[in-house]
Amino acid sequence: MADVTMPQLGETVADGTVTKWFKKIGDAVAKGEPLFEVSTDKVDTEIPAPADGTLTAILVPEGTTVDVGTILATIGVAGEAPTSAASPRSATVAAPVASGVTSERVSRPAASEGRGLSPVVRRLLDEHGLSAEQIDGTGPGGRLTRDDVMNFVANATPEPSDATAVGSLSPVVRRLLEERGLRASDVTGTGPHGRLTRRDVEDASSPSSQPTPSGDERVPFSKSRRLTAAHMVRSKATSAHTLMVREIDYEPIEVVRRRAGAAFKEREGFSLTYLPFVTVALARTLRDFPHLNASVGDDELIIHHNLNIGIAVDLDNSGLVVPVIHDTDRYSLVEVARKIRELALAARGKKLKLDDTERGTITISNPGPYGTLMTGAIINQPQVAILATDGVKRKPVVVTSSDGDESIAIHSVGLVALTFDHRAIDGAYAAQFLARLDQEMNRRDWSLDD
């Protein structure tokens, strides 16, 4: 028998919500095929079955949030009959009571068995503070439709019960209240019959809604913010952080951007920034500096031969996620630009897959578009280095010709800052690395075919 557990979906993720089961109890499952879908603050992804066999128990129904490592289901040997405890999908279940809505105990598959929820239906459930278990679906196979949700809301009858009672709140609303440090009684419901909705909780926890008795504002940390903070504190407590900075002449890169940027944007649909050039240069430089593409183990340095560069992405100021370009050195400049764009959009849209955030070996933080001068970024554990790329500006520089003559020219110049773990390498190694990175960025004949 094999247990199916909630996986660790990223370094800073502590729990996840089971949003959909693709199999029901008694179904045969094959190792590697999608078994269930999980949603976190950073990733929505399908999780494969860990073994071949028969799904004998589902212990966590759809819509339930549990900690990483929680047992969700069990897989027995092929042909094994489901256990008596493995019947939550066929047992009589109590539908959660929405505020002001009459609910009865009904006998139907728990958690909308076999009914994948469309984005429209999910949005409507969230907006009205409902869960899928409350509503009978009339679509194919019992699937919930938009009309099912709207008819349920329209036909809901008031209850004399407290509209903010814990049992009357949808899973989404309960989770948001917990994340933002609020009680249900602190929020005014605008849903049918005063029911609390997702927007009610979000509006109540916005900075403008917080009382300021002494001129202070209290903005509760979101879950993503809390997890990011914990990850950063752990990193500072683990690694011997050391910062080294070098000025880089971006003019060879700027020449390519001016020459090919317009055609690139017309063809690809987005602008050609400095970041893909830095990423390619970093990948090329790390070939000769493998101790920076590494992590610290038990009294040892673990050098990674796969080069997987992570790009830190801001999640609307609520936290960070680091999607990874696996085997970065195998991609051309244009392919790297596409990958960066694709992963950033997926991160901000919570569409990253599990593999997108795993196995990173070094990270780039890119605050440069905001015009920063120098950034001492915190290392993304368990890596040993992070490279920050700051603002690039036009400024006078001294240019030396091949025959040694010097002149003044206007170039695009910026700083790159390497934060490294002094347990792994020393300053001389870091300085040599930055010098080689400078050569890769400043002296190569850049072309969009790289």
Q: Which of 422, 438, 445, 449 is catalytic?
A: 422
Q: Are strands 34-39 and 44-48 parallel, antiparallel or unpaired?
A: antiparallel
Active site residue 422: yes
The 3-state secondary structure of the chain reads: CEEEECCCCCCCCCEEEEEEECCCCCCEECCCCEEEEEECCCEEEEEECCCCEEEEEECCCCCEEEECCCEEEEEECCCCCCCCCCCCCCCCEECCCCCCCCCCEECCCCCCCCCCCCHHHHHHHHHCCCCHHHCCCCCHHHCCCHHHHHHHHHHCCCCCCCCCCHHHCCHHHHHHHHHCCCCHHHCCCCCHHHCCCHHHHHHHCCHHHCCCCCCCCCCCCCHHHHHHHHHHHHHHHHCCEEEEEEEEECHHHHHHHHHHHHHHHHHHCCCCCCHHHHHHHHHHHHCCCHHHCEEECCCCEEECCCCCEEECEECCCCCEECCEECCHHHCCHHHHHHHHHHHHHHHHCCCECHHHHCCCCEEEECCHHHCCCCCCCCCCCCECEEEEEEEEEEEEEEEECCCCCEEEEEEEEEEEEEEEECCCCCHHHHHHHHHHHHHHHHCCCCCCCC
Q: Which of 136, 147, 355, 426 is catalytic?
A: 426
- Which residues are identified as catalytic? 422, 426
